[in-house]
């Protein structure tokens, strides 16, 4: 059977130049998008139980736009005025620019990295006298606290949002040739929404080693993995697999 239908467990790209649209056109496949997980804000009342005072910190570390949104949401709901001299350390330039939604960008002390947390830690190490606040999801990369502790950075971890499974009842069944996952939470959502789902001939594609491990731990067969040396992106991995699979069919 030729591969004709793919389900990507993420929101539909907002730009028409997405490599997924190019992949669909070049290989004559239909690609649907459906987020398997969603983000919920932690209520302020719940945040208070963490006993974290925002004003005890002189700097904030942002690993995503969601972290920025929830930091300023909590500050507003708690009637905390974030001081003008607060320093911001962002995972990449795009995240740093997103701060413009909440602050006058050019007047603040903002630092950013290349997109990798170890590189951001190298920037943070030059400001060791600061006390850092790290807004995170309940599910986050363990390297974040581990690297901060290893480098003796003074910090508080604030859980401001959580990752939960989406309601996928409208899908009824996963009748696709390939299903693409990007996080272990996506696999958790699959199990919760479709506890009796049988993989059969459906192929599973994953991005990142943690997601790949979640697939095999759940007892499913893993067919496509990214990133790989010859396929650093998911779309490249899919294209290579589709061309090989559909050859002569």
pLDDT greater than 80 at residue 2: yes
Per-residue DSSP letters for 134-193? EEEESS--THHHHHHHHTT--EEEEEEEEEEE---GGG-S---SEEEE-SHHHHHHHHHH
The Cα 136–Cα 147 span in angstroms is 15
pLDDT of residue 249: 67
Going from the C-alpha of 50 to that of each of 43, 151, 158, 166, the distances in angstroms are 12, 24, 7, 26
Architecture of domain 40-163: 3-Layer(aba) Sandwich (3.40)
Q: Whole-prediction pTM value?
A: 0.77
With a pLDDT cut of 90, the percent of the chain lying above it is 89
Please report which confidence band the pLDDT of residue 15 belongs to, taking 50, 70 and 90 as the band edges: confident
The residue among 97, 94, 93, 44 whose CA lies nearest residue 72 is: 44
The Cα 171–Cα 247 span in angstroms is 30
Please report which confidence band the pLDDT of residue 104 belongs to, taking 50, 70 and 90 as the band edges: confident
pLDDT of residue 141: 84
pLDDT of residue 1: 83
pLDDT greater than 70 at residue 180: yes
Question: What integer is the mean pLDDT of 213-232?
Answer: 96
The residue among 83, 76, 78 whose CA lies nearest residue 52 is: 78
State the angle between helix axes of 143-150 and 117-124 in degrees (0 to 180), rounded to the nearest 10.
30
Per residue in 80-97, pLDDT (tens digit) is 999 999 999 999 999 999
pLDDT greater than 80 at residue 223: yes
Query: 117 with 91: CB under 8 angstroms?
Result: yes
Domain ranges, ordered by start, for the chain: 40-163
pLDDT of residue 174: 83
pLDDT of residue 175: 86
The Cα 156–Cα 16 span in angstroms is 40
């Amino acid at each position: 059977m030729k591969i004709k239908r793919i389900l990507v467990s993420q929101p539909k790209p907002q730009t028409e130049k997405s490599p997924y649209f190019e992949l669909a056109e070049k290989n004559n496949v239909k690609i649907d998008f459906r987020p398997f997980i969603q983000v919920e804000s932690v209520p302020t009342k719940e945040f208070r139980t963490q006993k974290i005072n925002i004003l005890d910190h002189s700097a904030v570390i942002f690993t995503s736009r969601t972290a920025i949104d929830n930091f300023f949401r909590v500050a507003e709901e708690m009637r905390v005025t974030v001081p003008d001299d607060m320093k911001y350390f962002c995972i990449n330039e795009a995240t740093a620019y997103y701060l413009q939604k909440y602050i006058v960008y050019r007047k603040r002390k903002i630092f950013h990295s290349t997109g990798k947390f170890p590189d951001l830690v190298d920037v943070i190490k030059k400001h060791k006298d600061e006390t850092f606040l790290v807004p995170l999801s309940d599910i986050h990369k363990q390297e974040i606290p581990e690297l901060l502790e290893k480098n003796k950075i003074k910090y508080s971890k604030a859980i401001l949002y959580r990752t939960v499974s989406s309601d996928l009842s409208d899908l009824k069944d996963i009748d696709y040739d390939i299903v693409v996952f990007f996080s272990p939470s996506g696999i958790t959502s699959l199990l919760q929404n479709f506890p009796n789902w049988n993989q059969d001939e459906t192929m599973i594609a994953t991005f990142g080693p943690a997601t790949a491990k979640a697939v095999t731990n759940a007892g499913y067969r893993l067919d496509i993995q990214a990133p790989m040396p010859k396929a650093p992106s998911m779309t490249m991995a899919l294209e290579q697999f589709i061309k090989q699979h559909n050859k002569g069919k």
